[in-house]
Chains A and B, each alone.
Chain A
Amino acid sequence: MIEILTTGQLNTIQDLGRPGYLAFGISHSGAMDRPALEVANLLLGNDRMAAGIEVAYFPFRARFNVNCNVAVTGVDCQVLIGDRIYPSWWAVHIQQGQTIILNRPRSGARAYLAFAGGIDVPLLMGSRATDVKSGFGGLKGAGLTRGDRLNLMPGNKILLPEGGLGVKWAGQAENPGEPPITIRVLPAAEFDDFTPESKHAFTTEIWIITANANRMGYHLNGSVLALAKPLELHSHGIVAGTVQVPRSGQPIIQLADANTCGGYPKIATVIDADLYKLAQASATTPLRFSIASTDEAVNAILMRRNAMTKLQIDLRLHLGY
């Protein structure tokens, strides 16, 4: 059992999400930075759907009443266990009675704390992810609060090297990337309904992530984007990464917990492979949109999957699970 000592409501139990229920109006939810959670689970020999904690509020502290392997990925931050300091993107064994502290990140916005076996909360529609907006999943459908106790599922008892084990991951090299970060997009249904000036501004200017940025979506600040003529759209399904432009002309990027349907014009969609960059960008971060080709977007998915498979094979050989 793990007891939460210091947290914020922004910290939630997440896995890879709840696909398959869009037809019931249910968001995919799940880790905002999916590859980071996947890597954390791989380091522990976990099932890929194992649930961990998405930490977006720091410092985060928890006490362990069990012996257990843990992994921290996502951000670049200092991890304190007892009197020892570890980096992130690292797996280590924790003794019963010890406390883990995740300090404010040097870069990045969301850490993933995974446990051998994963967190034992009920599966709801195939997932343990918390959907805070709708109030279900995770622990009582809400963010973690001080005093919450989490049970773990039985896990792989991997013997980690003394001092733990780190991993290099492509995403991690980009995390501290010099701002503005570049977000690749594909044009969406209404791209050509915007004025030429607006299309130009969208793809060349700098956009700032405002303080109104959470798991539902990020509101951006920049030039005012305008349609060439007014449009009335019927409600339609949207995906995480959809860049909508409401009447204010200021784009909103819809993310993991967004409503499953929208009605605003869509100028573009962030490609899957770049969603993690947004997950790791906090308010005030400047970003730039660059139009990608479909081939580039699909190749990026293929490269990500291949890299994940290679990492899994390497870790299996190394750790013998």
Chain B
Amino acid sequence: MQKTAIRISQSGSGALLLDAAVGAFSDDVQHHLWEMDDRIRDVPGVIETALGMNNVLVIHDPLLINAVELERILRSLWLRAQAKRIAGTIHTLAVFYGGDRGEDLLAWAEHCRMTVQEVVQRHTSGIYTVAAIGGMPGFPYLSGLDPALAWPRRAIPKSGVMEGSVIIGAGQASVMPITAPSGWHILGHTNTGLFDPSKDPPALLQVGDTVRFAIAAVVI
């Protein structure tokens, strides 16, 4: 990969945000960040990292390593970063499309100018990759949504979107691991739990895992 210019900015007294995005989300950039993330965690003075979509937030103790020094290390790590291949677990989530818990199914099909059968068929034929986990506990950012299925987020987030809701927002797919507000559209639900705080690790899905959706039922 041609190494693109990265932007590094301060997120307060003890964090730097490394942004490697060049326009639309890139799987290739993300694979380089996966590899780099492991190395960043080994830098003395780094406390933890939070991988985002084509970016990574690095939390550090500024009394152990200052922002200028850390930025220099991050730039050099980026130049040396290789794409990481992860042989992740393959998860198949059975989805009940539509019905009370899939309120946006019909409008989604309409938006895509397809039949309900078509959108569901395309959604289930996709192979999704967990690009990052974040935002809320165990929430997977899935890449791999068929661009024809993309749908801009709601103008106003909906409160109380239920755990297990299968959702899409712009060009991304996901599943709600807990009940929380969300601006994404609700296509259906799965009964597979994605988050359990008493487990180690607490999240079912890990970065690099593959997710597939299967039809449990379609209710129109």
Contacts and interface: CB of A to CB of B under 8 A. Distances in A.
Interface of A: 19-26, 124-125, 133-137, 186-189, 234-239, 241-242, 259-262, 266, 269-273, 294, 297-298, 300-302, 305
Interface string B192-209: 000001100111000100
B10 A19 contact: no
Interface stretch (B60-68, B73-81, B107-115, B117-125): B60-68
A124 B202 CA distance: 10
A271 B62 contact: no
Interface of B: 7, 9-15, 17, 19, 21, 25, 47-57, 59, 62-63, 66-67, 132-139, 141, 177-178, 180, 197-198, 201-203, 207
A47 to B, nearest CB: 20
Given A25-B135, A260-B135, A298-B66, A19 B11 contact: no
Given A261-B52, A302-B63, A186 B133 contact: no
Contacts of B12: 186, 188, 239, 241-242, 269-272, 297
Given A125-B197, A301-B62, A25 B51 contact: no
Contacts of A273: 13
Contacts of A298: 13, 62-63, 66
25 contacts: A19-B59, A22-B49, A22-B57, A23-B48, A23-B133, A25-B137, A26-B137, A26-B202, A125-B197, A186-B12, A189-B19, A234-B53, A235-B53, A236-B53, A237-B55, A239-B14, A242-B12, A259-B135, A260-B50, A269-B11, A269-B15, A271-B13, A272-B13, A294-B10, A302-B63
A273 B50 CA distance: 22
List 7 A-B pairs, minimum CB-CB distance, nearest first. A237-B57, A237-B50, A269-B12, A189-B9, A234-B53, A236-B52, A22-B50
A189 B7 contact: yes
Contacts of A189: 7, 9, 11, 17, 19
Nearest to A136: B197
Contacts of A269: 10-13, 15
Given A236-B55, A301-B13, A19 B48 contact: yes
A243 to B, nearest CB: 10
B178 A261 contact: no
B19 A272 contact: no
Contacts of B203: 24-25
A269 B57 CA distance: 14
A24 B133 contact: yes
B141 A235 contact: yes
A242 B136 CA distance: 16
Contacts of B178: 134-135
A234 B52 contact: yes
A272 B47 CA distance: 15
B201 to A, nearest CB: 6
A137 B62 CA distance: 29
Contact of A239 (B49, B53, B57, B62): B57
Contact of B55 (A234, A260, A301): A234
A32 to B, nearest CB: 16
A236 B138 contact: no
Given A236-B55, A298-B66, A23 B13 contact: no
Contacts of A135: 178
A261 B50 contact: yes
A76 to B, nearest CB: 27
Contacts of A20: 47-48
B19 to A, nearest CB: 7
B52 A237 contact: yes
Contacts of B197: 124-125, 134, 136-137
A19 B52 CA distance: 17
B129 to A, nearest CB: 15
B57 A133 contact: no
Contacts of B49: 22-23, 237
B40 to A, nearest CB: 11
A212 to B, nearest CB: 13
A262 B134 CA distance: 9
Best-surrounded residue of A124, A137, A239, A297 (most CB of chain B within 10 A): A239
B97 to A, nearest CB: 25
A116 B49 CA distance: 34
Contacts of A133: 136, 180
A197 to B, nearest CB: 22
B75 to A, nearest CB: 16
Given A242-B12, A269-B12, 19 more contacts: A22-B59, A23-B51, A23-B207, A24-B201, A25-B133, A25-B135, A25-B137, A26-B137, A133-B136, A134-B180, A236-B53, A237-B55, A239-B14, A239-B57, A260-B134, A262-B135, A294-B13, A297-B13, A298-B62
Contacts of B141: 235
Contacts of B19: 189, 236
